[in-house]
């Protein structure tokens, strides 16, 4: 790749042929060099069972090629045509309540359906056969947004596949009975044939069954991907991707990332949400981390408003550009949109396009042109494209824990992602760039590793965390960590399991504070649990969680403040080998969390980026990128030169949505 990719989804089948030529012309004008084609073209390519029509697609690819636009060619399997469902209704997905979902929207297939897989494979074979050698081809785009609308299917085909998956995992039914704890509630299975997906039931389902079904469902989608990728790889050397969706709960992207040649991502923060920049930063750090630090592609973002929220806010002037540079700063080598030309019919006609309903005389198109031009210029600048993003701190992210901690019948209703976002945004605000890692990943590369609620942890994971601290790292462990093993069995003998040694304490009892409505009835105390401590400072609200900690050898840095837990440890620090291990027995609000992080980061010797309220700083390659997400202009005082303006970065004024790429002086 000799420059930044720039472009978007392109759906020529929605337009008459004369528009195609105008599209290529305007793509050139906007600097587009990559178009994702064919994503929802199955019904156009194969309008009837076994009848294939490629002539139109030949022409589209030839036109794009002639115009110098490369193609990210889809396998077109994301949305089967209606005729397939009519012929094989058993391939339709079924909800947990037994409702069959019909054709007429998109993605109406059961991922485990042999029929779907057979027809999809045939289609992919035909497409690869025809286009593997096309000169426009730059990337294969397998399916689309796997699991977006149907991630879990409860049909009989899925049940059969689940049983096979379980048999492969457990070998014997007694191994499954032990893992699932079926002695509870008389759930013992005499054979695999008795097992069903966790369909609607009278009350709480078996938690391990539910978790295994989450794992199975992620695996089934991955198997769909693998089957298509294998067909492609047999005939083509062109790299393969499938577009991820950031922190998408149903799919464990750690497993998927190993299977794609390049990580790509779809990202749609709400412009009306003040947390959008923080969430965006976190999502881009995940994408970089999934690829092991390698450059990734922003495969989809919106040039303006989307269409699927209750209220679909427009992007502010400059906001699309600012958020695009956020991706570049955090490791992206391509910026693409959904979609090139805004649709006029169908469910997404109110989703913005680079080329809006209003045509080229629009702010949206002008901004698309501007960004295209800038990226073209930046492609030839040394030290940006393809460069890594250094990070000294990592957050452990774990899909098993996400799935498990948000199950019902847990100690309290927790949003895993809100918790992780709390840590990530506090670190970002503290001037720290963050990688995401697996607990068993290369932790030793980092000065500090934060472990938010690793609710489910294998022995290997706990040992890796301990080894990291003992080896000199700064380990920061959040509440509800190490509670369960991978079968969701409680690690008994005081919570925290093996981390008891690492942290110098154990947890005796969970004690979440009353929910706000009940707390209010109780006269205000404790409306929430507070925390007080010298290094943490003052009284800090901690509304979601508290627990009884039994300190053995840790130092207490802060205690709970008020209520039944008054004076009990809330934050502790423990020397472990040549490192240290912190424990945080609550969820802190942003301000006290920042104060605590200052102590932890200083302790760990983590280097900090500049800190200006509202401004995001990231270092990539030779550049320090600054993005003003605030509502006010700021003046930066940095050494070096902003390559976007060519001016000095000392005294540089950054308007709202303004961006600077500062090369060190």
Q: Which residues are annotated as a binding site?
A: 106, 110, 144, 153, 155, 308
Q: Which two tokens stand for residue 100?
A: 């069959």
What tokens appear for 501 in the block?
């040694």
Q: From the list 208, 289, 324, 481, which residue makes contact with its own copies (rule: CB under 8 A)?
A: 208
Q: Which residues, numbered 318-347, are part of the site for its own copies (CB under 8 A)?
A: 342-347
* Per rule CB under 8 A, count of chain residues that contact its own copies: 127
Among 21, 25, 118, 149, binds its own copies (CB under 8 A): 149
Minimal distance in Å, beta carbon 345 to its own copies? 3
Q: Choose the stretch contacting its own copies; rule: CB under 8 A; options: 246-254, 309-317, 382-390, 421-429.
A: 309-317
18 binds its own copies per the rule CB under 8 A: no
Closer to its own copies by Cβ: residue 381 or 514: 514
Site membership for its own copies, residue 43 (CB under 8 A): yes
**Would you count residue 448 as binding its own copies (CB under 8 A)?**
no
CA 125: distance to chain centroid?
Answer: 30
Asked if 114 and 161 count as a contact pair (C-beta separation under 8 A), the reply is no
Binding-site positions for substrate: 106, 144, 308
**Do the Cβ atoms of 405 and 417 come closer than 8 Å?**
no
57 Cβ partners below 8 Å, 6+ apart? 37, 38, 41, 45, 131
Site membership for its own copies, residue 349 (CB under 8 A): yes
Q: Which is nearer to its own copies, 86 or 665 (CB)?
A: 86
Which letter does DSSP use for residue 262 in this model?
A: S
Residues 587-616 close enough to bind its own copies by CB under 8 A: none
CB atoms within 10 A of CB 519: 18
Q: Among 55, 409, 534, 646, which residue sits at the site for its own copies (rule: CB under 8 A)?
A: 409
Tokens 């003003």 — which residue? 628
Residue list 606-665, contact with its own copies (CB under 8 A): 631
The residue (of 277 and 579) whose beta carbon lies closer to its own copies is 277
Dist CA 85 CA 88 (whole Å): 5
The span of 367-375, 404-412, 573-581, 633-641 binding its own copies (CB under 8 A) equals 404-412
Interface pick for its own copies out of 164, 200, 460, 665 (rule CB under 8 A): 200
How far apart, in whole angstroms, are the C-alpha atoms of residue 203 and residue 122? 42
Whole-angstrom distance, CA of residue 499 vs CA of residue 439? 13
Contacts (Cβ under 8 Å, ≥6 apart) of 370: 321
Backbone phi, psi, residue 576, to 5° = -140, 110
Q: 40 or 296: whose CB is closer to its own copies?
A: 40
Does 410 engage in binding with its own copies (CB under 8 A)? yes
> Residue 113 class from Cβ within 10 Å (0-12 exposed, 13-18 middle, 19+ buried)?
buried
Does 44 participate in binding its own copies (rule CB under 8 A)?
yes
Single residue of 2, 168, 202, 382 touching its own copies by CB under 8 A: 202
**Contact in structure between 600 and 423 (CB atoms under 8 Å):** no
CB count within 10 Å of CB 324 equals 25
Round to whole Å and give the CA distance between 568 and 551.
Answer: 9
Identify which range of 2-10, 371-379, 481-489, 612-620 contacts its own copies by CB under 8 A. Answer: 481-489
Least distance (Å) from its own copies to the CB of residue 633? Answer: 15
DSSP for 497-522 reads: TTHHHHHTEEEEEE-PPPPHHHHHHT
548 binds its own copies (CB under 8 A): yes
Q: Which residues of 79-96 are buried (b: 16+ CB within 10 A; e: fewer)?
A: bbbeebbeebebbbbbee
Listed residue (130, 84, 128, 132) closest to 109, CA to CA: 84
- Of the residues 145, 220, 228, 367, only one is catalytic, namely 145
Residue 89 binds to its own copies (criterion: CB under 8 A): no
Concerning whether 534 is annotated as a catalytic residue, the answer is no
Q: How many residues belong to the chain?
A: 665
418 binds its own copies per the rule CB under 8 A: no
Binding residue (CB under 8 A) for its own copies from 412, 578, 635, 645: 412
Q: Is the peptide bond before 256 cis (omega within 30 degrees of 0)?
A: no
> Segment contacting its own copies (CB under 8 A): 306-314, 321-329, 388-396, 464-472?
306-314
CB of 339: closest distance to its own copies in angstroms? Answer: 11
What is the CB neighbour count within 10 angstroms for residue 186? 6
Q: Is 20 in the site for its own copies (CB under 8 A)?
A: no
> Pick from 50, 525, 534, 646: which binds its own copies (CB under 8 A)?
525
- Given a contact cutoff of 8 angstroms between Cβ atoms, the answer to whether 302 and 266 are in contact is no
Please choose, out of 186-194, 282-290, 442-450, 640-648, the segment that lies near its own copies by the rule CB under 8 A: 186-194
Distances, alpha carbon 533 to alpha carbons 521, 569, 599, in Å: 28, 10, 12
Rounded distance, CA 642 to CA 640, Å? 7
Q: Which is nearer to its own copies, 55 or 409 (CB)?
A: 409
Tell me which of 157, 220, 300, 547 is the catalytic residue. Answer: 300
Residue 13 bears catalytic tag: no
Residue 55 binds to its own copies (criterion: CB under 8 A): no
Q: Between 2 and 186, whose beta carbon lies closer to its own copies?
A: 186
Comparison of 160 and 316: residue with beta carbon closer to its own copies: 316
The residue (of 66 and 518) whose beta carbon lies closer to its own copies is 518
Beta bridge partners of 265: 244, 298
Of 41, 67, 70, 71, residue with least CA distance to 56: 41
> Using CB under 8 A, which of 66, 86, 234, 602 touches its own copies?
86
- Closest distance to its own copies from the beta carbon of 197 (Å): 8
Q: How far is residue 645 CA from its own chain's centroid?
A: 33
C-alpha–C-alpha distance, residues 595 and 541, integer Å: 13
The contact mask relative to its own copies for 358-397 (x = CB under 8 A, - = no) is: xx--xxx---------------------------------
Q: How far is the CB of 426 from its own copies (least distance, A)?
A: 17
Kindly state the helix (H) or strand (E) to which residue 141 belongs, with its residue range. Answer: strand 137-141
Q: Which of residues 486-505 bind its own copies (CB under 8 A)?
A: 487-490, 492-495
Site for its own copies in 551-580 (CB under 8 A): 564
Which residues are catalytically annotated?
145, 300
């Amino acid at each position: 790749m000799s420059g930044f990719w720039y472009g978007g989804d392109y759906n020529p089948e929605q337009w008459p042929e004369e528009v195609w030529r105008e599209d290529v012309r305007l793509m050139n004008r906007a600097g587009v060099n990559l178009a994702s084609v064919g994503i929802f073209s199955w019904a156009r390519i194969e309008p009837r069972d076994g009848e294939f029509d490629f002539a139109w697609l030949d022409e589209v690819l030839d036109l794009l090629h002639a115009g110098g636009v490369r193609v990210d060619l889809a396998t077109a399997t994301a949305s089967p045509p209606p005729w397939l469902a009519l012929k094989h209704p058993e391939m339709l997905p079924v909800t947990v309540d037994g409702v069959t979902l019909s054709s007429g929207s998109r993605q109406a297939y059961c991922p485990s359906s042999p029929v779907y897989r057979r027809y999809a494979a045939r289609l992919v074979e035909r497409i690869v056969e025809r286009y593997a050698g096309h000169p426009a081809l730059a990337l294969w785009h397998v399916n689309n947004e796997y699991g977006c609308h149907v991630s879990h299917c409860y049909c009989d085909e899925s049940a059969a596949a689940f049983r096979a998956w379980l048999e492969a995992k457990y070998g014997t039914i007694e191994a499954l009975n032990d893992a699932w704890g079926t002695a509870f509630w008389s759930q013992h299975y005499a054979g695999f044939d008795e097992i069903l997906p966790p369909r609607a039931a009278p009350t709480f389902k078996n938690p391990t069954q539910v978790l295994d079904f989450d794992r199975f469902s992620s695996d089934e989608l991955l198997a769909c991907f693998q089957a298509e990728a294998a067909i492609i790889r047999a005939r083509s050397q062109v790299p393969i991707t499938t577009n991820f969706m950031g922190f998408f709960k149903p799919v464990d992207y750690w497993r998927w990332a190993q299977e794609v040649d390049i990580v790509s991502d779809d990202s749609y923060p709400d412009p009306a949400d003040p947390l959008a920049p923080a969430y965006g930063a976190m999502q881009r750090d995940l994408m970089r981390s999934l690829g092991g630090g390698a450059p990734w592609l922003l495969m989809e973002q919106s040039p303006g408003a989307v269409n699927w929220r209750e209220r679909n806010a427009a992007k502010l002037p400059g906001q699309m550009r600012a958020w695009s540079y956020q991706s570049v700063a955090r490791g992206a080598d391509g910026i693409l949109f959904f979609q090139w030309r805004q649709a006029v019919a169908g469910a997404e006609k109110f989703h913005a396009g680079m080329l809006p309903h209003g045509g080229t005389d629009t702010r949206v198109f002008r901004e698309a042109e501007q960004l295209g031009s800038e990226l073209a210029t930046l492609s030839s600048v040394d030290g940006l494209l393809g460069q890594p993003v250094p990070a000294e701190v990592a957050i452990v992210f774990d899909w098993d824990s996400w799935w498990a901690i948000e199950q019902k019948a847990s100690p309290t209703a927790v949003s895993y992602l809100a918790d992780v976002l709390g840590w990530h945004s506090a670190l970002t605000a503290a001037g720290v760039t963050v990688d995401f890692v697996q607990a068993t990943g290369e932790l030793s590369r980092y000065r500090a590793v934060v472990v938010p609620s690793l609710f489910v942890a294998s022995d290997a994971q706990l040992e890796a965390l301990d080894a990291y601290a003992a080896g000199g790292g700064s380990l920061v462990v959040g509440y509800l960590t190490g509670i369960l093993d991978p079968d969701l069995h409680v690690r008994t003998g005081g919570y925290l399991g093996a981390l008891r040694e690492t942290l110098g304490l154990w947890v005796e009892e969970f004690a979440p504070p009353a929910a706000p409505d009940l707390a209010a009835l109780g006269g205000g105390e404790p409306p929430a649990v507070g925390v007080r401590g010298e290094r943490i400072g003052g009284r800090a609200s901690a509304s979601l969680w508290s627990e009884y900690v039994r300190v053995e050898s840790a130092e207490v840095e802060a205690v709970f403040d008020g209520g039944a837990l008054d004076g009990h440890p809330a934050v502790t620090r423990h020397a472990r080998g040549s490192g240290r291990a912190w424990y945080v027995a609550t969820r802190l609000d942003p301000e006290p969390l920042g104060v605590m992080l200052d102590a932890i980061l200083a302790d760990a010797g983590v280097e900090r980026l500049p800190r200006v309220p509202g401004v995001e700083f990231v270092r990539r390659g030779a550049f320090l990128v600054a993005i003003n997400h605030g509502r006010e202009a700021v003046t930066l005082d940095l050494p070096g030169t902003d390559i976007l303006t060519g001016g000095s970065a000392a005294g540089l004024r950054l308007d709202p949505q303004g961006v600077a790429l500062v090369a060190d002086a």
